[in-house]
Amino acid sequence: MILRMSKSFIFFLLLGLLAPLAISSAQGPEPNRFLVTFRTQDPIERTALMTRGYALWGATLNDITFIMTSEEIRALDYSPPPRIQPLAPPPDFSGYHDYAEMTSELKALAAENPQIARLQSLGRSHEGREIWAMRITDRPDENEPDEKTILIFANMHAREHLTLEQALYLIRDLLENYGVEGEVTNLVNQRDIWIIPNLNPDGTEYDIRSWENPMDPPMWRKNRRNNMNGTWGVDLNRNFSYKWGCCGGSESYSGGETYRGPAPFSEPETQVIRNFANQHPDLTISFSLHTFGELILYPYGYTRDDLPPDMDPTDLAIFKAMSDGLSQRNGYQAEQASSLYIVDGDSDDWLYAERGVYALTWELYPPTFDPGFYPPDDVIPAETARNRDALRYGIALADDPAKSIGAGADMIPPQITILSPTGNEPLFVHAPITVTVAVTDNVGPTTVEYLVDGEPVAVRVAPDFSAVLTLPAGTSELTARAFDAAHWQTLSAPLLLTVIDPNSTPTPNRLYLPLLNR
- Residues at the site binding Zn ion, with contacts judged by CB under 5 A: 157, 160, 290
Q: Is 407 exposed, middle or buried (0-12, 13-18, 19+ CB in 10 A)?
A: middle
223 binds, among Zn ion, ligand 0X9, none (CB under 5 to 8 A by kind): none
315 binds, among ligand 0X9, Zn ion, none (CB under 5 to 8 A by kind): none
Question: Contact 125/225 with Cβ under 8 angstroms?
Answer: no
For the CB of residue 337, give the shortest distance to ligand 0X9 in the complex, in Å: 3
For the CB of residue 360, give the shortest distance to ligand 0X9 in the complex, in Å: 10
Residue 33 or 161: the one with the smaller Cβ distance to ligand 0X9 is 161
Residue 157 or 274: the one with the smaller Cβ distance to ligand 0X9 is 157
Residue 363 annotated among the catalytic residues of the structure: yes
Cα–Cα dist 353/347, whole Å: 10
Cα–Cα dist 118/109, whole Å: 9
For the CB of residue 204, give the shortest distance to Zn ion in the complex, in Å: 12
For the CB of residue 226, give the shortest distance to ligand 0X9 in the complex, in Å: 22
Q: Any idea of the CA torsion for 238, 240, 241, 247, to the nearest 10 degrees?
A: -20
Residue 54 or 259: the one with the smaller Cβ distance to Zn ion is 259
User: Which among 230, 297, 182 has a CA at the least distance from the CA of 27?
Assistant: 230
337 binds, among Zn ion, ligand 0X9, none (CB under 5 to 8 A by kind): ligand 0X9
Question: Contact 452/471 with Cβ under 8 angstroms?
Answer: yes
For the CB of residue 160, give the shortest distance to Zn ion in the complex, in Å: 5
Kindly state the DSSP code that residue 33 receives in the 8-state scheme. E
Q: Which parts of this chain interact with ligand 0X9 (CB under 6 A)?
A: 16-17, 157, 160, 237, 290, 297, 301, 337-338, 340-341, 343, 346, 361, 363
Residue 140 or 218: the one with the smaller Cβ distance to ligand 0X9 is 218
361 binds, among Zn ion, ligand 0X9, none (CB under 5 to 8 A by kind): ligand 0X9
441 binds, among Zn ion, ligand 0X9, none (CB under 5 to 8 A by kind): none
Cα–Cα dist 478/462, whole Å: 20
User: Which among 334, 338, 311 has a CA at the least distance from the CA of 324?
Assistant: 334
Residue 102 or 340: the one with the smaller Cβ distance to ligand 0X9 is 340
Question: Contact 103/132 with Cβ under 8 angstroms?
Answer: yes
Write out the E strands in 283-357. 283-291, 295-298, 333-336
103 binds, among ligand 0X9, Zn ion, none (CB under 5 to 8 A by kind): none
Catalytic residue among 269, 363, 383, 449: 363
Kindly calculate the radius of gyration of the chain based on its CA atoms and give it in whole angstroms. Answer: 28
Return the residue nearest ligand 0X9 (CB atom): 301
Cα 402 to the center of its chain, rounded Å:
23
For the CB of residue 337, give the shortest distance to Zn ion in the complex, in Å: 12
Residue 341 or 428: the one with the smaller Cβ distance to ligand 0X9 is 341
At 164 the three-state DSSP class reads helix
For 148, how many CA atoms within 13 A lie in the half-sphere containing its CB? 18
Active-site residues: which are they? Answer: 363
